[in-house]
Chains A and B, each alone.
Chain A
Amino acid sequence: MEYTLRVGGEAGQGLQTIGGALAQVFSKIGFHVFTHQDYMSRVRGGHNFYQIRFSEKEISASRDMVDILLALDLDTIEIHRKSVRDEGFILYDSEITKKKFEEPEFIDIPFKKIALDVGKKSVMANTVATGAALGILDLGLETFRNVLKKAFEKKGDEVIQGNIACAEAGYNYARKNCPRCEAPEIREPENRGLMLIDGVNAIGMGALMSGCKFYSGYPMTPSTGILNYMASRAEEYNLVVEQVEDEISAINMAIGASFAGVRAMTGTSGGGFALMVEGLSLAGMTETPIVIAEMQRPGPATGLPTRTEQADLLFVLYAAHGEFPRVIFEPGDPKQAFYLTNKAFELAEKYQIPVFIQSDQYLGDTEWTYEKFDLENIIYNDYRLREKDLEGVEVYKRFKYSSTGISLLAVPGEAGKHLVVVDSDEHDEEGHIIEDSETRIKMVQKRMLKKLPLIKKEIDPPLLYGDSSPKIVLVGRGSTYGVIKEVVDTISKDHKVAMMHFSQVYPLPERDKFDYIELLENADLTICIENTATGQFAKLMRAETGFEFTHQILRYDGRPFTIENLKEELHAYI
């Protein structure tokens, strides 16, 4: 059993409220939910939609075809009518669309009139519409009541009761006026509610649980969600969150805070990251731990501000002058985003390097459901030295040579009388400026060459899903994880097929634990799937391992792959 609902309308009409409420209702009942949003870069008007797919079994991607279309305006009907399945429904209010539809799939529900009659306020039309969608499914009214109670807690009883009445009215109206729907008899799952979380919140929560205490950022879609999350949690968890004048300041602040002794993070998207590049190099030279979330959207320049792409991989990989180690993670789902953010902090602190969480609009905004995150697996090691840790150290040297290349990281002012000196110029062990070649060589070896092999050992191999000795391998990284996984599920009956997904993309994992190159070489078809025009990961693989994929499937229209569209693209090869 599975259903897909699409809520469409103009920006400002409350799509997120309706979509968000439906997603919550389904996940609280215990269904697996997958939502995704498609919106334009404008605050009012235009056309946007919010899509919710729910199922008894785990799901991880969006479909093109929908079962229920909830249309808040006429545009939605015109644009999405063809996506409605034959047995599906289109819910609308002919008073709003100023047009009546007679075809059997249409159900005209007076959202506005009911809102005014029952709730005395036209803004409650959204609640009526949400209730109506649940009515068609004959599902979840009780849960929706609770969602409404919680949502309007602060607004008082009158607002709560009005909304509940509107929800019931919408629900009942849909049930009575739906000639085609016999009760679909959806069985409510046995398990209690699942957790529902999207990519940006998962990154934010990952940072919070990794001991991140300082976050600086400048708003830029789609990274703003992380800034919002951190700011909303500042008071409860004693964080300092600063909205800065530009991204140059954002990264320099993160570096300043980290130098002064607290775990720090910044986040942005491609254009903002372009401004951070100089600061990235500073983190590299000063060996200051920082975590940077780079949330991709299509470029170049301002590109498609609210859409998705994966085309910053090579930019982030090669950004900044000079040579220094960095790590890039590309989570495939919110759960991976959570754990990889945690691992990002661990590696940043342990090796005193910049670490990237690279994701995109698609994953940032998509909500997934989970049984739970296992918090026992969270890593937290404090690598910084304070008061007692430096007792017995005669002269503290910030950049002291060592066999691992890692030197003691002291906290200025908290380490007794020891002084912490750091420089962006090449420096000696104490941190003072030098120009001689001997020290330079030693410092490059310390910063870079000694640490690199150790860092490589920390990187996990790619995930293999499906057949264990596949003839067809679909390779992806980052946010294409969910859709490739579902496609593998659907075609595995007829093919020996597997997904190979990289979420730890740089440095590429070593091959001692799992020789993924050998596995690829033994397959007949290896297809690299990316949201870029040039296949950046395929290039990286070739450059680092010499392996060349037999084919590539690339999408660069600013939209994510859907199950139907990826399957269709695969037809050319399978």
Chain B
Amino acid sequence: MPTSEDYKGQVPAWCPGCGNFNILSTVKQALVELGIEPWEVLMVSGIGQSGKLPHYMKCHTFNGLHGRTLPVATAAKLANHSLHVIAVAGDGDCYGEGGNHFLHAIRRNPNITLLVHDNQIYGLTKGQASPTTAQGTHTKIQPYGVLEEPLNPLALAISQDCSFVARGFAGDQSYLKELLKAAISHKGFSLLDILQPCVTFNKINTFRWYRDRVYKLEEEYDPYNRLKAFERSLEWGDRIPNGIFYKSERETLEEGIPTIQEEPLVRQKFSIEDVKHEIDKFY
């Protein structure tokens, strides 16, 4: 059985007190509790503070470009669906630069888990507004305050029939761990949007601010009711629900591709002899 120690990576270079630390330790715990070994996990990340997370763990890692996490993760899964593929992104990374890929990953429904470190700000580039920053927030670049409506990732994902949609909070690690385990275990594309306080640049959405508002969806809440899920995803303000908002059973991308049903693509042996007869088709 793996232990948390097996997953120990480099020393993080995040600001002291950053919400990312909690996410890191919780991800490790969730993987340990699921009994998944480091060499069975591929973490794909983009650019931003979140993008560094895989380096602070031990597992296969592809830390690619800003916003491009999902195409890399999806293709890696298609090439080797025996790996647990976890995509790690920031709110700017995934909903801004990578917005198009986000929409299409939902459509494709590969069996991968997407963790979005949603700190409602651009951290690494020092405090500009992100797609989830509240309207009216002042930054160096938004002197009149953010004019745009914030993007609602959960509502968006539910509207597109994303097969697993959940929200967690970096300040409630035990619940976050449950959500992480559920997301990783879910068959299909799972979105876990994690409220992550950026203690340096986001002076509004602090640990305190979230603690005062966050609550768990009720025990009897039915995640298979899409309309209800949509309704609850619109709740934001004095009360912010956490939990699994929506689930649906959809065929995964890998399941739809007949050529990889017997064996992951990467294990299929290639021999020129097997394809030579192709040339006959041109006579």
Contact = CB atoms under 8 A, between A and B. Distances in A.
Given A257-B78, A261-B80, A431-B61, A209 B275 contact: yes
B interface, by DSSP: helix, strand, loop or mixed? helix
Contacts of A420: 60-61
B64 A252 contact: yes
Contact of A413 (B42, B104, B279): B42
Contacts of A279: 65, 68
A425 B274 CA distance: 40
A540 to B, nearest CB: 29
A429 B8 CA distance: 18
B62 A413 contact: no
A467 interface: no
A248 to B, nearest CB: 7
Given A205-B278, A208-B275, A259-B62, A248 B259 contact: no
Interface string A409-423: 001111011111111
Contacts, number: 185
B278 A412 contact: no
Nearest to A238: B259
B72 A419 contact: no
B185 interface: no
B259 A260 contact: no
Interface residues of B, number: 53
B276 interface: yes
Contacts of A151: none
B144 interface: no
A411 to B, nearest CB: 6
Given A261-B80, A416-B39, A240 B257 contact: yes
Contacts of B101: 245, 248-249
Contacts of B52: 433
A183 B63 CA distance: 70
Nearest to B104: A245
Given A242-B75, A245-B100, A261-B266, A197 B39 contact: no
Interface in B233-277: 257-260, 265-268, 270, 272, 274-276
A375 B280 CA distance: 12
Contact of B79 (A211, A235, A257, A373): A257
Contact of A375 (B59, B71, B103, B272): B272
Given A249-B104, A259-B72, A419 B80 contact: no
A234 to B, nearest CB: 6
Interface in B50-67: 52, 54-55, 58-65
Nearest to B283: A195
Interface in B39-93: 39-40, 42, 44, 47, 52, 54-55, 58-65, 68, 71-80, 82-83
A567 to B, nearest CB: 31
A235 B272 CA distance: 17
Given A242-B75, A282-B64, A424-B65, 18 more contacts: A28-B283, A213-B265, A214-B78, A214-B79, A234-B259, A235-B259, A238-B260, A245-B103, A245-B104, A249-B68, A252-B68, A255-B72, A257-B75, A380-B270, A411-B80, A413-B266, A417-B38, A419-B60
Interface of B: 10, 37-40, 42, 44, 47, 52, 54-55, 58-65, 68, 71-80, 82-83, 100-101, 103-104, 257-260, 265-268, 270, 272, 274-276, 278-279, 282-283
